Structure 1
């Protein structure tokens, strides 16, 4: 059995690596063509071809994370179909490789792909993606989202704060920061407007160019509004650099731990976290789709292929992989709009394809 596993694993790994390299080369070419246009637009700021190449190279881990389950499906289908066409799988079956043993062998290989996908998506892709965005921001402007930037909220025993950060510079500093302080009854107590702010080491922001406005307490005898111009100001808070980056960057560019911590921060401050919860559960379930893909590919070993049959099988694998990718994105948007359970929204595409895989396995393998 070890010899059979070594044969199957070697062929599948080689095929998956070849498919992955082909897909990554294609995406690298498309990304580079797009960045060449950016070189012309931002040439005055010093953006050169070498920077474009660096940016495109840093985007490779993100593409690899998204493409790996599809590459596993296509590569495994190719190997299983080739084994069936050359009658190698028939010989393996007569040597004692039953359906359940074949399924168990592929599931063990799929677990390896699950671990690889999780490691890439959690430890390699987020820092590379963030470095790519900071590299681009160095020459094309600061990182921002929307027209007003990112909004965050912090609750305390005596009130709450609403914080607006317009953008983040490549060096990690924030620009055009506004802080609105409310009392326990929801009335505005004070505002801070700072030209820039830095993250301190003692749970505080060091602000520069600050305009502070204090409003009178509700029911006070005087209606005087105090205004002050401050060269610097220290504002203690619990909003970390990771939280600001999470609000400015897309959720899929965050690791699982960062997403979990940011969700807890949003929930603790009574903010909606549906979008981030869906992305968190997608981070959990997406690597497991590699197991679904190897199960879906196994029935191809039990089909009878004529000349050109492998090409049709590979094409079917490409279509199945693309449909899974599209379905995964569509369910993410639908779950966010329809307020579905986040874990169900993330798991449903994999459950649908798992049902199709088991149906194909039962019909084409066990019934024969």
Structure 2
């Protein structure tokens, strides 16, 4: 038992060190790429170089979450490659440890790191993304702002709009707004009317308020009307509003669940949120299965190849799994497969491939 604990410690430390270096490198490269892209917007409104740097820094937790799967795979290959180059991997095999046992040590080391990454994706990741979007939007546009808690405020001439939340439409930059309040003022700042609507929908360049109650204020009185649907003349650009809305893949499981419940209750399409929900649930499983199942396939390569070959193997496997997953999930969306089933197929394929490999090369 002591020997096994030492083996686990040896393999885990080698792998985690390589994963950490790979992880930081991938995130740094991705952050630098985004920073260069943000430089094109410097000078727009009040968006300065310092705000561009702050924007990128706020998105770092989310980038750590997104890059962990690739870092776990490539770092695992590099870590085992280091053990192979020093002869320690050969010694472990000569001592009677199977490839399955060594891969279990890799999974053991990555398990705790995966758990921490999942927590990061539910806490600092979404929080930083919201802060980054609010910073960018406030600096680039003086007419749209995000309030604390994610509610949206916008100004269109003498009209002020408030929305509790917004949703992007699938395949479009346009948005739907929920919990909408439209305040109309005159040039002296007096409130003329207040419209409270369940939703605001942008269709064919026009806004439509649904389930709306409008109150008009006169000098000495107020009158209210209720309508199922009413047109709303507004120059509010939905593409600008889309920049203020956190995309489903960046939301927490709780936020995704609430959006799914709301859309299902109102007979609206929740497929994008449901897909993001199950993708996030399967994220830790995909990382561990990929690291556990892909590493033994490269055992022969690790003995004969150097750093460049191990990097190549890791990148090919990571890209292969990414495209396999996206293809199967997209296939499931087209043929109305439940997202849970579609997300379970790629890791299941890897598990079956690994089982076949271990039976032949135990």
Tell me the TM-score normalized by structure 2: 0.72
Cα distance, 1:212 vs structure 2:
5.6
Cα distance, 1:315 vs structure 2:
0.7
Q: Tell me which residue corresponds to 1:14.
A: 17
Cα distance, 1:30 vs structure 2:
0.8
Distance 1:324 1:346 in 2: 12
Distance 2:359 2:41 in 1: 52
Of the three residues 320, 341, 346, the one matched with 2:343 is 346
User: Structure 1 residues 87-96 or 316-325, which shifts more?
Assistant: 87-96
Cα distance, 1:9 vs structure 2:
1.1
Cα distance, 1:19 vs structure 2:
0.6
Distance 1:233 1:354 in 2: 66
Cα distance, 1:10 vs structure 2:
1.0
| Aligned residues of 1:207 and 1:234 also touching (Cα < 8 A) | no
- 109 and 246 in structure 1: CA distance in 2 versus 1, 3 angstrom threshold: farther
| Aligned residues of 1:175 and 1:197 also touching (Cα < 8 A) | yes
Q: Tell me which residue corresponds to 1:263.
A: 260
- 227 and 126 in structure 1: CA distance in 2 versus 1, 3 angstrom threshold: closer
Distance 2:345 2:144 in 1: 36
Cα distance, 1:72 vs structure 2:
0.6
Q: Secondary structure at the match of 2:160?
A: strand
- Pairing 1:261-340 to 2, within 5 Å after superposition: 261-299=258-296, 302-303=299-300, 308-340=305-337
Q: Tell me which residue corresponds to 1:134.
A: 134
Cα distance, 1:15 vs structure 2:
0.2
| Aligned residues of 1:295 and 1:361 also touching (Cα < 8 A) | no
Distance 1:271 1:331 in 2: 24
Q: Tell me which residue corresponds to 2:42.
A: 39
Q: Tell me which residue corresponds to 1:208.
A: 183
- 86 and 106 in structure 1: CA distance in 2 versus 1, 3 angstrom threshold: same
- 301 and 329 in structure 1: CA distance in 2 versus 1, 3 angstrom threshold: closer
Coordinate RMSD, CA, aligned: 3.5
- 131 and 330 in structure 1: CA distance in 2 versus 1, 3 angstrom threshold: farther
Of the three residues 143, 159, 162, the one matched with 1:197 is 162
User: 1:113-163: CA deviations, max 9, x gaps?
Assistant: 331231122112111111111111001238xxxxxxxxxxxxxxxxxxxxx
Distance 1:234 1:14 in 2: 66
- 227 and 77 in structure 1: CA distance in 2 versus 1, 3 angstrom threshold: closer
| Aligned residues of 1:121 and 1:255 also touching (Cα < 8 A) | yes
Q: Secondary structure at the match of 2:23?
A: helix
Q: Tell me which residue corresponds to 2:208.
A: none
User: 1:59-104: CA deviations, max 9, x gaps?
Assistant: 2222211210111111111122332343311212333433443233
Q: Tell me which residue corresponds to 1:170.
A: 146
Distance 2:272 2:263 in 1: 11
Tell me the TM-score normalized by structure 1: 0.71
Distance 2:223 2:104 in 1: 62
